[in-house]
Amino acid sequence: MIYREAGDFKTSYAKDQQTFPIAFDRWGYFITLAFAFLVVPFIINDYWINAVVLPFLIYAIAAIGLNILTGYCGQVSLGSGGFMAVGAYAAYKLMTGFPDLNIVFVIFLSGGITALVGMLFGLPSLRIKGFYLAVATLAAQFFLVWLFNKVPWFYNYSASGQISAPERSIFGYAVTGANALPAVSYLFCLCFVVILAWAARNLTRGANGRKWMAIRDMDIAAEIIGVNPLKTKLTAFGVSSFYIGIAGAMLFAVYLGAAEVGEAFGISKSFLILFMVIIGGLGSIFGSFAGAAFMVLMPVLLKNVMVGQLGWPTDLAAHFEFVIVGGLIVLFLIVEPHGLAQLWRLAKEKLRLWPFPH
């Protein structure tokens, strides 16, 4: 009744091709953005920023990155944790090596460095596919973690191998370090998320995205119609690693403040991001957000309910958290194998007809 496309006429191709062709969607998108930029910074407290919203925004970037590679281009990667580590260590080296460099450039440069590393590790994808490629990227994960542990230059020869982010600011407001106001780091991350998500959405529906999807759907057919697999696969690895590198740099600099490669960027991180992408929905930008929200929010929510409200012992709650989150993942995948994004799509289809299905 409210959600409908009838009467929503388009008079130009540009309008017909826009991301949100239905007015209701478009307004929803603008209202969400306005709410996120204008209302949230004033009502949010430290706990919500640092425990929920920052990790959600940062993991959303990582999930978009992996979604470009796995969801759009069909190349399975288990190296996300390692690539995030590249982003984090690049950010650390840039921040300590060039103290005057603005943090925005630091983060973009870290993404760029990660993109180069990602393309290097993407080279095997030209010869191997599927599970074999997954194993090759797994090797990247272990190699990169080993490298950052082994070579002291990466952590500036500190005694413990820990890297800690020094304070950096924009317009006089600290963004990294302990003195950063929560609202400032929130807005900082939000800007990155909005710009990167917007870029990803437009990349994936342009020529590059179509090439990626052609390779994903059938690489031989794509090659025959003139898609260059070398260029296509490497751009997918590059763009994906750029996003994941930015996520790694922000996870380290803005969110954690200090990191240690084995613990913060281990294999479990690769799986976490892969879960986000699969649960959210492969080949969907919205799915990346939904998956990241699910994997970040669910444990915190469960913990607050079980420990904070019901007063259960913390160990019991921690174990139940695994059981419930694990159970929900299986349930979601059985009920809707295409992820939360597909559930959302179905809900919208139903809403178009509601309340008069036939």
Partner 1 sequence: MKMTKLAAFAATAMTMASPVLADLVFPSLSYRTGPYAAGGIPFADGYADYFTMVNARDGGIGGVPIKMIECETGYNTEKGVECYESTKGEGALVYQPLSTGITYQLIPKVTADGIPLHTMGYGRTSAANGKVFSNVFNYPANYWNGASNAVNHILDLNGGDINGKTIALVYHNSAYGKEPIRTLEELSKKHGFKLSLLAVDHPGQEQKSQWLQIRREKPDYVVMYGWGVMNQVAVQEAANIRFPMENFIGIWWSGGEHDVLPAGDAANGYKALTFHGVGKDYPVFADVQKYVVEPGNAAGAGDQIGTAVYNRGFYAAMLAVEAAKTAQEIHGVKDITPAMMRDGMEALVIDEAKMTALGMPNFGPSFSVSCENHGGPGLGGVAQWDAGAKEWKLISDFAPSDMEVIGDLIVEDSMAFAAENNIEERCK
Residues that bind partner 1 in the complex, under the rule CB under 8 A: 32, 45-48, 50-52, 55, 96, 149, 158-162, 164, 166-167, 177-179, 255-260, 262-264, 266, 286, 289-290, 293-294, 297, 300-301, 303-305, 307-309, 313-315, 317-319
Choose between 239 and 278: whose C-beta lies nearer to partner 1.
278
Torsion of CA 194, 195, 197, 199, to 10 degrees: 160
Choose between 37 and 129: whose C-beta lies nearer to partner 1.
37
Choose between 52 and 120: whose C-beta lies nearer to partner 1.
52
Provide, rounded to whole angstroms, the least separation between the CB of residue 168 and partner 1: 12
Q: What is the DSSP string of 305-343?
A: IIIIIS---HHHHHHHHHHHHHHHHHHHHHH-TTHHHHH
Choose between 125 and 185: whose C-beta lies nearer to partner 1.
185
Whole-number Å distance between alpha carbons of 162 and 155: 7
Provide, rounded to whole angstroms, the least separation between the CB of residue 267 and partner 1: 10
Choose between 11 and 309: whose C-beta lies nearer to partner 1.
309
Provide, rounded to whole angstroms, the least separation between the CB of residue 176 and partner 1: 10
* Spatial contact of 262 and 54, defined as CB atoms under 8 Å apart: no
Choose between 149 and 342: whose C-beta lies nearer to partner 1.
149
Question: How many C-alpha atoms does 238 have within 13 Å on its Cβ side?
Answer: 10
Sequence length of the chain is 358
Provide, rounded to whole angstroms, the least separation between the CB of residue 354 and partner 1: 16
What is the b/e burial string over 214-250, where b = at least 16 CB atoms within 10 angstroms of the residue's CB? bbbeebeebeeeebebeebbbbbbbbbbbbbbbbbbb
CA neighbor of 234 nearest in space, from 267, 208, 269 = 208
Provide, rounded to whole angstroms, the least separation between the CB of residue 198 and partner 1: 15
Provide, rounded to whole angstroms, the least separation between the CB of residue 126 and partner 1: 31
CA neighbor of 236 nearest in space, from 80, 81, 65 = 65
Element (H, E) at 169: strand 169-170
167 vs 89, 181, 184, 188, CA distance in Å? 16, 12, 13, 14
Choose between 50 and 129: whose C-beta lies nearer to partner 1.
50
Provide, rounded to whole angstroms, the least separation between the CB of residue 122 and partner 1: 26
Provide, rounded to whole angstroms, the least separation between the CB of residue 214 and partner 1: 29
Choose between 21 and 152: whose C-beta lies nearer to partner 1.
152
Provide, rounded to whole angstroms, the least separation between the CB of residue 53 and partner 1: 8
Amino acid letter, 301: L
Backbone phi and psi for residue 311, each to the nearest 5 degrees, phi listed first: 70, 30
* Spatial contact of 185 and 55, defined as CB atoms under 8 Å apart: no
Choose between 37 and 48: whose C-beta lies nearer to partner 1.
48
Q: Which residues pair with 258 in a beta bridge?
A: 164
> CB neighbours (10 Å) of residue 171?
6
